[in-house]
Amino acid sequence: MDTLVSPRRRALVQALGAASLLSACGGSRASRVSPAAEFSGLTMGSAYTVKIAGAALSPALRAVARNAVGVALGAVDIAMSTFRPQSELSRFNAHASTSPFTLSPDTFSVFALAQQVSAATSGAFDVTVGPAVDAWGFGPGRRERIVEGPEVAALEHRVGWRKLRLDENAGTVAKLRPEVRADLSGIAKGYGVDKAAQALDALGIEHYLIDAGGEVRTRGRNPEGRPWQVAIEQPEAGARRPRYIVPLSGLAIATSGDYRIYFERDGRRYCHEIDPATGRPIDNRLASVSVVAATGALADAMGKLIVLGPERAYACATKQGIAAHFIVREAAGGLRDLVTPAFAALGGTPFRA
């Protein structure tokens, strides 16, 4: 299957128009206001949906918009997929050398942002963590297994964001060890949504919501003239129920969680979120992290704050002015919402059925 995102990534955010949200909440509006245009497709292993509000689009402009979004998302997949042998990223990973590897401007930009987020999160986000994810069986093939001490220790030579060196002037990335490889699935889908947004902007479209497998980017207003309403879901396996509603305009949101992909052995639960520092699945009571940012790529990558646990993640996000919503598992059972000041300023509210 040609897809950018491996099975370990899943959509964890629901995007809802204001009218459908009011209906779910028992709103009093008599009828739903339809988008001026709405279309969907497949990209990077998941579905995407685009809703456009404002003045009605001509059939010709609608077709152009749909094609432009598909091309933008497809270009990112073609360049950054680990499942395509001839993708730019696959060729970089096959480059078993410490000599610099020249990248296209888009792919280099993603690497550069990834390194910035790695530094900002104390390495919680790390594009080199793929070997550890695969070792635990959360990569392609899904053969779950427990990884013991010696094997975890051996991964240290292959994992670590500081094992990459970027040269901005030359547009190159070099590995400090030839066996290091990168997996951009934790940031590239968000970048793809950003490129799709740029494509709509170039067409003069001012009001839209793009949702690509849970990576959401918004601009302007929804069909009712209000900010787009986005629901953060309950962290429940096998269910998709909204927990918290966030009004967004001109912003992006992405979520990471520990509850969709996991396996159990001897009464213990192992989730797909791997701590790059330990090479092991996280076990820190943080069920879900949603980040709102100016770009989808930044929101996507910052979701890896989940690796740090509630206290460290909250401190990191607050210090840097990041708008983040955390769902924490309490020791006595139940869930607790924890939001940074920047997230609280967005005016979100708990979902009321």
Per-residue pLDDT of 253-270, as tens digits, reads 999 998 777 778 877 888
Quote the pLDDT of residue 16. Answer: 45
Whether residue 277 contacts residue 304, with contact meaning beta carbons closer than 8 Å, is answered with no
**Contact (CB, 8 A) for 258 and 142:** no
Instruction: Give the position of tokens 């005016």.
Output: 347
Cα 217 from chain centroid (whole Å): 11
pLDDT of res. 302: 98
Q: Are strands 215-219 and 208-212 parallel, antiparallel or unpaired?
A: antiparallel
d(CA 47, CA 211): 8
Contact 56, 34 (CB under 8 A): no
pLDDT at position 141, please?
A: 65
Tracing tokens 């685009």 back to the chain, one arrives at 50
Strands 323-329 and 242-248: unpaired
Question: Which domains does the chain carry?
Answer: 86-175 (1.10.3980.10)
Nearest alpha-carbon partner for 79 in 2, 161, 180: 2
- pLDDT for residue 88: 98
- For residue 19, the 8-state DSSP code is H
- What single-letter amino acid sits at 30? A
How far apart (Å, rounded) are the C-alpha atoms in residues 46 and 134?
20
- Report the alpha-carbon distance of residue 224 to residue 37 in Å, rounded: 14
What is the Cα–Cα distance from 294 to 287, expressed in whole angstroms? 24
Alpha carbon separation from 10 to 225, 258, 261, 266, 325 (Å, rounded): 30, 10, 8, 25, 18
Residue pLDDT tens, the chain, 353 long: 233 333 333 333 444 433 223 222 333 343 357 888 999 999 988 899 999 999 999 999 999 999 999 999 999 999 999 889 999 999 999 999 999 999 999 999 999 999 999 999 999 999 999 899 888 888 766 678 888 888 888 888 899 999 999 999 999 999 999 999 999 999 999 999 999 999 999 999 999 999 999 999 999 999 999 999 999 999 987 778 999 999 999 999 999 998 777 778 877 888 888 999 998 898 899 999 999 999 999 999 999 999 999 999 999 999 999 999 999 999 888 999 999 999 999 999 999 87
- Report d(CA 341, CA 325) in Å as an integer: 10
pLDDT of residue 127: 98
Tokens of 208: 């839209």
Please state, in angstroms and as integers, the Cα–Cα distance from residue 257 to each residue in 245, 254, 261, following that order: 17, 10, 9
State phi, psi for 201 to the nearest 5 degrees: -60, -40
Measured between alpha carbons, how far is 136 from 3 in angstroms, rounded to an integer?
Answer: 21
Q: By the 8 A CB rule, do 212 and 196 touch?
A: yes
User: Which pair of structure tokens corresponds to residue 324?
Assistant: 């983040």
Predicted local confidence at residue 147, as pLDDT = 84
